Amino acid sequence: MAVVKACKILITGANRGLGLEIVKQLTENSFPKQHIFATCRDPDGPKSEALRELVKKHPSAITIIRLDADDPSSVKESAKKVGSLLGNNGLNLLVNNAGIVANGTIQTSSVEDMKNTFNTNVIGPLLIIREYLPYLQMAAKASGIPGMSSNKAAVINISTVAGSMTRMPSIYNQFPTLPYGVSKAGFNMLTVLAAEEFKADEILCMALHPGWVKTELGGDEATLEPKESVEGMLRVIGSLTEKQHGGFMDYSGETVTW
């Protein structure tokens, strides 16, 4: 089984759902030098209690960082803070997991929902990638290994089939989430163009669909438990090479059509 051996990892939206489960599983299978920067909007709030409890169990492996994807100044501050803690080998793995869902159709979607989903699901990750890019470049150079991998330097964008122009029409009646789908299609394009820009630096970039998961975002009717989804995603992340650069896959390793 492929294992994530990245030393320095940053995960957004790490206080609940898939983000929290990723932090849990990484700490359970931790390598001696591995350190996780678990970011969330409100580290001291009630919704971050489970993450704080996890840190008590693994104080040397996890650092909680405040990062609100919807607030550019918060993104900048988080990068400064993480940068001061990283050392000379940079950031190996950035997982853009934070995201929001809004329901609606052409006829019912509000301007506010469209703006909010786009700000959090597209502009937020764009700013996060931009601010953390120097640390990813540092990691790629420091590795001294040719090619691409998640252990060297990588951006993993947690996407969804709702952002697939091929897949979404057939599930739209069941999931009338136009603001979410449109924003995630934008997120997918961001992934493709980031991959194009990062080729020269050998920073791997790809989109990953976690499946339909029982989280606050996925709802109770979802078919997958977070544990199963994250086990699969970590297997995929650990096995990535330059062949998957700019690609779109699901938690089982299957290619998803754009």
Domains detected in the chain: 8-250 (3.40.50.720)
Angstrom distance (rounded) from CA 24 to CA 143: 26
User: Tell me: the pLDDT tens digits for 148-161?
Assistant: 999 999 999 999 99
pLDDT of 30 above 80: no
Cβ atoms of residues 5 and 151 within 8 Å: yes
User: Tell me: the pLDDT tens digits for 80-107?
Assistant: 999 999 989 999 999 999 999 999 999 9
Residue 197 C-beta-side C-alpha neighbours within 13 Å: 13
User: Tell me: the pLDDT tens digits for 195-247?
Assistant: 999 999 999 999 999 998 888 777 778 789 999 999 999 999 999 999 999 99
pLDDT of 2 above 80: no
Q: 207 CB contacts (<8 Å, ≥6 apart)?
A: 157, 158, 159, 163, 187, 188, 191, 247, 248, 249, 256
Are β-strands 93-96 and 154-158 bridged in parallel, bridged antiparallel, or unpaired?
parallel
Closest CA to 74 of 31, 115, 103, 42: 42
Residue 218's pLDDT is: 74
pLDDT bucket at 77, cuts 50 / 70 / 90 = very high
Angstrom distance (rounded) from CA 158 to CA 206: 9
